[in-house]
Amino acid sequence: MTISANIEDGRGTSSKAMVTSRGQLIVSPIDFSTAYAVTMDAVNTAFNFTIPIVDKKFVLTDILIDAGKNVSASTAGTVVIYEATAVDSTVVDREILTFEMLKNTNRVITGLNLLCSEGRWINIKTTDATMTATLLGYYVDA
């Protein structure tokens, strides 16, 4: 037996709940993540993941970082993922995450649901120029 129903957000935005072809109840916009990868080959340099899109915000879902065999064995490399006001800016407008990486290590951070600011680039910088990083996420309406 099928029951026809309409579930709306009640805020007048016409957002409606849906059921996907796989039987998932979706109550908000959903999209698939896109991967943005960079190789950090210079110290204290802005490496860009995403660009601002008008009327959109970026949802950060996952981060993967690899510190290779050339990272210093005695000093960890500091990694900063941040929002910036320009594609090449090393000035941290809003810090998303900071952590340290040792030689031959990797860090996989999953299950995030971080909403980034509208009109900002998402950049990364490091104190050791021998790391790679991949950021995953998708854009939603602001």
Please report, rounded to a whole number, the percentage of residues in the chain having pLDDT higher than 90: 66
Q: Residue 75 is which amino acid?
A: T
For residue 26, being part of any structural domain is answered with no
Whether the pLDDT of residue 31 is over 80: the answer is no
Q: What's the token pair of residue 15?
A: 């957002």
pLDDT-based confidence at residue 49 (cuts at 50, 70, 90): very high
pLDDT-based confidence at residue 140 (cuts at 50, 70, 90): confident
Whether the pLDDT of residue 29 is over 60: the answer is no
Q: What's the token pair of residue 71?
A: 């990272």
More confident residue, 72 or 97: 97
pLDDT digits (tens, 9 = 90+) for 102-121: 999 999 999 898 999 999 99
Q: Residue 50 is which amino acid?
A: T
pLDDT digits (tens, 9 = 90+) for 64-95: 999 988 888 788 999 999 999 999 999 999 99
For residue 104, being part of any structural domain is answered with yes
Measured between alpha carbons, how far apart are the two ends of the chain, in Å? 38
Classify residue 129 as exposed, middle or buried by CB count within 10 Å of its CB (0-12, 13-18, 19+).
middle
The domain of 74 spans 31-141
For residue 17, being part of any structural domain is answered with no
Whether the pLDDT of residue 28 is over 70: the answer is no
Q: What's the token pair of residue 84?
A: 């910036």
For residue 74, being part of any structural domain is answered with yes
From 52, 53, 99, 106, select the one nearest 80 (Cα to Cα).
Answer: 99
* Mean pLDDT across the chain: 89
For residue 63, being part of any structural domain is answered with yes
From 46, 83, 50, 80, select the one nearest 65 (Cα to Cα).
Answer: 80
Q: So what's the pLDDT on residue 30? A: 66
Whether the pLDDT of residue 20 is over 80: the answer is no
For residue 13, being part of any structural domain is answered with no
pTM for the structure as a whole: 0.80
At 44, which CATH number? Answer: 2.60.120.340
* Count of structural domains within the chain: 1
Q: So what's the pLDDT on residue 4? A: 72
